[in-house]
Structure 1
C-alpha cells in the first residue's frame, strides 16, 4: 500500500469528495433553463404573435413541438416562458430577501414587546397560503409582470423574516458578539461584521428553495389569468390554454409542465447541494 493511501486512511491527507449527485443534477437542469432564457433574448424560431402555423399541428420539421389552437409555435412560447419564470423567480426572491431580512433583523435587535408583536404578525401572514396572498395583491395592482413579482415577493417575505429573526437571535447570544458590543462596536458594525456573515449560508439555501416556490406561484397565477398578460409567454398560461385540447394535442400541456418540473427540481436539488456545502456536519455525516 502506498504512503499516500495510508495517509488518506489515517486522515492525515484529506480525500477528495466527489460533487453530490443532486448538486450536479440541479446545476444541469437549472443551467439548461437559464441557457434557454438567454437564447430566447436574441433568437426565437417564430415571433410570439405569429399565427401562420396550422392549428394544433403535431411536432414536425417546421414546428419541433407543434402549434397551439391559434397556430402559434409552441417551442417559441416555451423558450420565452423561461424568461418570465426566471424573471419572476429572481425578482420575487430578491424582494422577499430585501424585506424579510430587514424585518427579521429589526425584530432580533428590538425590545421584547416589539419582537413579540412582529413575530405574531409574521405567524399570521405565514398562515395564509402564498398563492392566496399573491392573488390579493394582483387583484389590487392588476395583472402584469411587476404585479406577479410584487405579489410573490411580499407573500414570501414573512418566511424569510422569521428565519432571519431566529438565526440572528442565535448569533447575538454568542460570546464574540458580546465582546464586540463591549468593545464599542456600533449596531451596524455588529450587523454587517458578525450577524449577516454568519447567517448568510443558511439564508442563501432558504432563498434558493423559495425560488422554486416562486416559479410555481407564477405558473399558478398565469394559469388563473393573473400573471403577465399577452403577448408575454408564460408556462402557466400555456397549460391553461392547452387543457381543452390535451387529448388531441398533448404536447401543448406536456412541454410546459415538464419545463416547470425541471426548473423547480433543478433549483431544489441545487439548494440541497448548497446546504451540504454550507454545513460541514452534514458532509461528514454522509
Structure 2
C-alpha cells in the first residue's frame, strides 16, 4: 500500500526535473557553440560596413545589418563570446575571493566575524551593477575592467554563503573529532569543509553566472563595457534602440540571446541542485 503511494510521486518529480536540465543544457550549448565558432570564423568582419545601412535579413546577411552597415549575426556571435568570457571570469574571481573571505570569517574570533558579517551585509545591500559601475568608472571601460568589477561585486554574496556553510560544518562532530586528533586547520578545510560546501557553492556560482551576464550587458548598454570594435549584446541593444521600429531585428536578436543564456544557466543551476541535494536524489 505504501509503495503504491510513493511511486506516483517519484515519477512526476523525475519528469519535472529532466526537461529543466535538458532545456538548460540546450540553451547554454547554443550560446557556447556560437561563441566557439566565432573564434575561427565570422560571416563578416566587425569593421566591414559594406552591407548597407539597416538592411533587412537576407541570404547575404541572415539577421540584416545595423545603422552602420555591419553584419548583425557577426556581432551576435562575438557578443556570445564576450558574455561567456565575462561570466566565467567574474564567477572565477567571485569563487576564489568569496570562498577565501568566507572561510577566513568562519575561523575568525567572534567579534571579528561579526564585524566582517556586518561589512558583507553593507556591500550586498548595493546592487551588483552599481558596484560594478563604480569600479569601471575608476579603472576605465574595458573587458578586463568589466570582469574585475562584476567579480568583485559578486564575491560578497559568495563570501557570506561560504561563511554560513563553513560555520555549519564546523559544528559537526566529525570536525570536532578531527581537531581533537590534531588535524591542522588547512586539513580541516580541504578534507571536511570544502567537500561538504562545494555542491551548494556550485549552484550559487551557476546562478551568479547569469547575474554576471546581465551585469555585463547593462554595463555595455551604458557604454562601460568592452570598447569598440568589440561587439557585445548590451551595446547592440543600445545602438538599436533608435531604429527599433524600422529595423527591429537589431534589438530583438541580442535581447533573445541574453534571455537564452540567462535562462540556460539558471536551468542548469536548478538541475545541478537536483543532483547535489540528497533529499532530491532520494525522490528520483
TM class by shorter chain equals over 0.9
Asked if 1:242 is matched to 2:267, the reply is: no
Aligned-residue Cα RMSD (Å) equals 1.9
Find the aligned partners of 2:53 and 2:155 in 1 and give their Cα distance: 43
Matching of residue 192 in structure 1 with residue 190 in structure 2: yes
1:74 counterpart residue number: 72
Separation in 1 of the partners of 2:115 and 2:161? 16
Match for residue 151 of structure 1?
149
Corresponding residue for 1:101? 99
In 2: Cα distance, 1:58 partner to 1:33 partner: 23
TM-superposed CA distance for 1:9, in Å, is 10
Specify the alignment match of 1:49 in structure 2: 47
In the alignment, is residue 39 of structure 1 matched against residue 37 of structure 2?
yes
SS of the residue 2:176 aligns to: helix
Other-structure match for 2:210: 212
1:20 match: secondary structure: helix
Q: Say yes or no: does 1:61 pair with 2:59.
A: yes
TM superposition shift of 1:21: 1.0
- Partner of 1:178 in structure 2? 176
1:162-173 aligned within 5 A: 162-173=160-171
**Could you list the per-position Cα deviations for residues 202-226 of structure 1 after superposition, in whole angstroms to 9, with x for gaps in the alignment?**
0000000000000000000000000
SS of 2:39 mapped into structure 1: helix
Unaligned runs of 5+ in 1: 1-6
- Summarize the alignment of residues 82-97 of structure 1 with structure 2, pairs less than 5 Å apart: 82-97=80-95
- Shift in Å, 1:118: 0.6
Partner deviation per Cα, 1:29-79 (whole Å, 9 max, x = no partner): 001100100000000000011001110000000000000000000000000
Which secondary structure state, in structure 2, belongs to the residue aligned with residue 42 of structure 1? Answer: coil
The separation in 2 between residues aligned to 1:206 and 1:21, in whole angstroms, is 21
Q: Where does residue 202 of structure 1 map in the other structure?
A: 200
Does residue 231 (structure 1) correspond to residue 245 (structure 2)? The answer is no
Structure 1 position 284, deviation (Å) = 4.0
Instruction: Give structure 1 regions of 4+ aligned residues with deviation exceeding 6 angstroms.
Output: 7-11
Q: How many matched pairs?
A: 278
Normalised by the size of structure 1, how large is the TM-score?
A: 0.94
Residue in 2 aligned with 1:3? none
- 1:114 and 2:112 equivalent? yes
Which string of whole-angstrom CA distances, capped at 9 and with x for unpartnered residues, describes residues 210-265 of structure 1? 00000000000000000000011100000000000000000000000000000000
Deviation, 1:8, is 11
Cα distance in 1 between the residues matched to 2:247 and 2:224: 25
Report matched runs for 1:4-19 at 5 Å. none
Aligned equivalents of 2:282, 2:217: Cα separation in 1: 38
TM-score w.r.t. structure 2 length? 0.94
CA distance in structure 2 between the partners assigned to 1:10 and 1:145 by the alignment: 52
**Hey, what's the Cα distance between the residues in 2 that align with 1:186 and 1:63?**
62
Is 2:4 the partner of 1:21? Answer: no
